[in-house]
């Protein structure tokens, strides 16, 4: 069997050896080697082979009862060869059982472990090797759960930071806090334009600047452009360094310096890099500057039609309302949805994401989302298109369809002058004017052909609430809602309200 030149550690959460020694139910005792707090184990493995090297992956707590030890081992070099092979294979520690072969741990084994710096544990007779292995697995599961909880909490806090009025500094501050790190954002020319966190050790900023050049894409030579990696890592003394290229942002780089590197640090920093990619990419683009200009003009009193040209060349746009199938929308998901629909014009609400899409791009169903699409409209009709998209989304949720479009076919409403239709609607629906919830319930109920269940789903209320509201509407209007003529007239009025 061939022997690897460099032992590889299994991809499992490390368990401090000190945590295993703290388990009173095991009764383990360290009798040789470096301090337990300096050692971590990734695995527990039992072997009675005289040469365990070929069977170790690295990082194990190797357990043995000494069955393989010859009677004359105490006087020779057997234990030095044995321990040296464990160390060469990357073994983290050795556990020696006192039963059933040996009553005490051989002194020569203690001396060899001390000489080679291998922690040696004494396993009492009452403790089985399977019990030790189970304890390792339990500690690993606890470590994995803590790691996942840490990543989840960091993702939530970073997403919240990205939605603040100052998103880039907020994300950097949150990242630095979560990793107990110094975080830097480098511009495409290598200049540090923002930072957060504890003061770095001397030389850290310069080392990070050099590392950021490794991941920053450049043209290299004209004939052979250099392809940069997405991330890179290095160290400066006791400081761990990492750099992350921000995709699609024209050369921005995130640099992170930490005292020590925890298992979840890379995942958390990667989430921050994705958020910063979206933020820096938006602000650097010419289109982003034009959209900012349009927003400023709107806030200063300009009409939508006057600033629409800054958003693009399309004269007509589509308003899309979207809700995630599970949970509530978040900034990262909303940005990803906008990218999939081909528009950065996104409004993240409490329950709904609204996207303004150029009329030339036909929205398609998106996995994990329910979409409602309004009819193509110019800037002056955007409010109407917004209401259409809201109703289309309600219908999509009620019918469990991934996407519903507002119907653009001409109908009876086109035959009645708009002013007359609106006056008729005000008069007919006046008894419901004081109850917006009643009006919306009636509108949804009629659009879903009088289905109690689907209306309840669309409005997020109980079906009994729908019945009570519709009954109240019938009483206030003094009419029979089972009459199809009445339903038609009410639907006509609701559409022109």
- The full 3-state SS of the chain, as one line of letters, equals CCCCCCCCCCCCCCEEHHHHHCCCCCCCEEEECCCHHHCEECEEEECCCCCCHHHCCCCEEEEECCCCCCCCHHHCCHHHHHHHHHHHCCCCEEEEECCCCCCCCCHHHHHHHHHHCCCEEEECCCCCHHHHHHHHHHHHHHHHHHHHHHHHHHHHHHHHHHCCCCHHHHHHHHHHHHHCEEEEEECCCCCEEEEEECCCCCCHHHHHHHHHHHHCCECCCCCCCECCCCEEEEEECCEEEEEEECCCCCCCEEEEEECCCCCCHHHHHHHHHHHHHHHHHHHHCHHHHHHHHHHHHHHCCCCHHHHHHHHCCCCCEEEEEEEECCCCCCHHHHHHHHHHHCCCCEEECCCCEEEEEECCCCCCCCCCEEEEECCCECHHHHHHHHHHHHHHHHHHHHHCCCEEECCCCCCHHHHCCHHHHHHHHHHHCHHHCCCHHHHHHHHHHHHCCCCHHHHHHHHCCCHHHHHHHHHHHHHHHCCCCCCHHHHHHHHHHHHCC
Are 492 and 413 within 8 A, CB to CB? Answer: yes
Lowest mean pLDDT segment, chosen from 318-332, 357-371, 391-405, 413-427: 413-427
pLDDT tens digits, residue range 38-60?
Answer: 899 988 999 999 999 998 989 99
What is the per-residue pLDDT for 17?
93
Q: Which domains does the chain have, with CATH numbers?
A: 15-138 (3.40.1390.20), 163-217+229-284 (3.30.450.30), 315-405 (3.30.70), 413-495 (1.10.10.2840)
Distances (CA, A) of 33 to 97, 114, 300: 17, 5, 72
Give the pLDDT confidence score for residue 44 in this predicted structure. 92
Mean pLDDT of 195-211: 87
pLDDT band at 313 (very low <50, low <70, confident <90, very high): low
Q: Model confidence at 220, in pLDDT bands (50, 70, 90)?
A: very low
pLDDT of residue 3: 43
Q: Which pLDDT score is estimated for 183? A: 92
Task: Retrieve residue 450's tokens.
Answer: 């009088």
CB 320 within 8 A of CB 373: yes
Q: Say whether pLDDT at 141 is over 50.
A: yes
**Pick the residue with more confidence: 52 or 412?**
52
* Residues 346, 355: Cα–Cα separation, whole Å: 5
What whole-number distance in Å separates Cα of residue 195 and Cα of residue 186? 9
Could you give the CA distance from residue 72 to residue 77 in angstroms, rounded to a whole number? Answer: 10
In this prediction, residue 219 carries a pLDDT of 41
pLDDT, one tens digit per residue, over 270-290 is 888 888 887 776 545 555 666
Q: Is the confidence at residue 410, as pLDDT, over 50?
A: no
Average pLDDT, the chain: 83
* Res 308: pLDDT: 73
Task: Tell me the pLDDT band of 227, cut-offs 50, 70 and 90.
Answer: low
Contact 14, 107 (CB under 8 A): no
pLDDT digits (tens, 9 = 90+) for 73-100: 765 689 999 999 999 999 999 999 998 8
Mean pLDDT of 158-182: 87
- pLDDT range class, residue 4, cuts 50, 70, 90: very low
Question: Are 231 and 244 contacting, i.e. CB atoms less than 8 angstroms apart?
Answer: yes
Distances (CA, A) of 470 to 299, 388, 450, 464, 488: 40, 22, 10, 10, 15
Convert the pLDDT of each residue in 238-249 to its tens digit: 888 999 988 755
Rounded distance, CA 334 to CA 26, Å?
Answer: 50
Q: What span, in angstroms and rounded, lies between the C-alpha atoms of 93 and 36?
A: 9
pLDDT at 412: 57
């Amino acid at each position: 069997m061939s022997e690897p030149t460099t032992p590889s550690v299994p991809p499992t959460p490390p368990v401090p050896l000190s945590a295993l020694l703290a388990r009173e139910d095991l009764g383990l005792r360290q009798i040789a080697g470096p301090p337990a707090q300096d050692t971590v184990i990734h695995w527990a493995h039992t072997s009675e082979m005289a040469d365990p090297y070929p069977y170790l992956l690295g990082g194990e707590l190797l357990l043995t009862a000494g069955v393989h030890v010859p009677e004359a081992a105490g006087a020779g070099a057997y234990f030095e060869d044995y321990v040296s092979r464990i160390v060469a294979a990357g073994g983290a520690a050795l556990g020696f059982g006192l039963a059933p072969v040996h009553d005490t741990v051989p002194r020569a084994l203690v001396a060899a472990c001390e000489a080679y710096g291998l922690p040696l544990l004494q396993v009492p007779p009452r403790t089985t090797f399977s019990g030790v292995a189970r304890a390792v697995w339990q500690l690993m599961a606890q470590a994995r759960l803590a790691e996942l909880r840490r990543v989840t909490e960091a993702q939530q806090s970073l997403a919240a930071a990205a939605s603040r009025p100052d998103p880039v500094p907020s994300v950097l501050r949150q990242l630095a806090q979560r990793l107990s790190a110094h975080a830097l954002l480098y511009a495409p020319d290598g200049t540090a334009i923002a930072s957060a966190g504890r003061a770095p050790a001397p030389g850290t900023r310069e080392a990070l600047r050099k590392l950021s050049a490794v991941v920053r894409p450049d043209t290299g030579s004209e004939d052979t452009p250099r392809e940069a990696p997405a991330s890179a890592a290095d160290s400066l003394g006791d400081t761990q360094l990492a750099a992350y290229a921000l995709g699609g942002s024209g050369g921005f780089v995130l640099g992170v310096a930490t005292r020590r590197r925890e298992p979840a640090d890379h995942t958390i920093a990667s989430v921050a890099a994705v958020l910063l990619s979206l933020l820096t990419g938006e602000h650097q683009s010419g289109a982003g500057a034009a959209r900012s200009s349009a927003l400023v003009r709107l806030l200063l009193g300009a009409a939508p039609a006057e600033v629409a040209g800054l958003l693009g060349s399309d004269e007509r746009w589509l308003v899309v309302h979207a809700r995630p199938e599970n949970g509530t929308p978040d900034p990262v998901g909303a940005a990803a949805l906008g990218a999939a629909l081909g528009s950065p014009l996104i409004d993240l609400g409490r329950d709904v994401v609204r996207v303004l899409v150029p009329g030339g791009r036909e929205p398609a169903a998106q996995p994990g989302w329910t979409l409602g699409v309004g009819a193509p409209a110019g800037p002056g009709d955007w409010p109407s298109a917004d209401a259409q998209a809201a109703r289309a989304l309600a219908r999509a949720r009620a019918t469990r369809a991934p996407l519903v479009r507002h119907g653009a076919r001409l109908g009876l409403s086109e035959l009645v002058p708009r002013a007359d239709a609106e006056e008729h609607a005000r008069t007919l629906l006046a008894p419901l004017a004081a109850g917006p919830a009643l009006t919306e319930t009636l509108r949804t109920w009629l659009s879903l052909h009088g289905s109690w269940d689907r209306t309840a789903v669309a409005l997020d209320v109980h079906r009994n609430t729908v019945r009570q509201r519709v009954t109240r509407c019938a009483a206030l209007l003094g009419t029979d809602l089972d009459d199809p003529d009445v339903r038609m007239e009410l639907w006509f009025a609701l559409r022109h309200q």
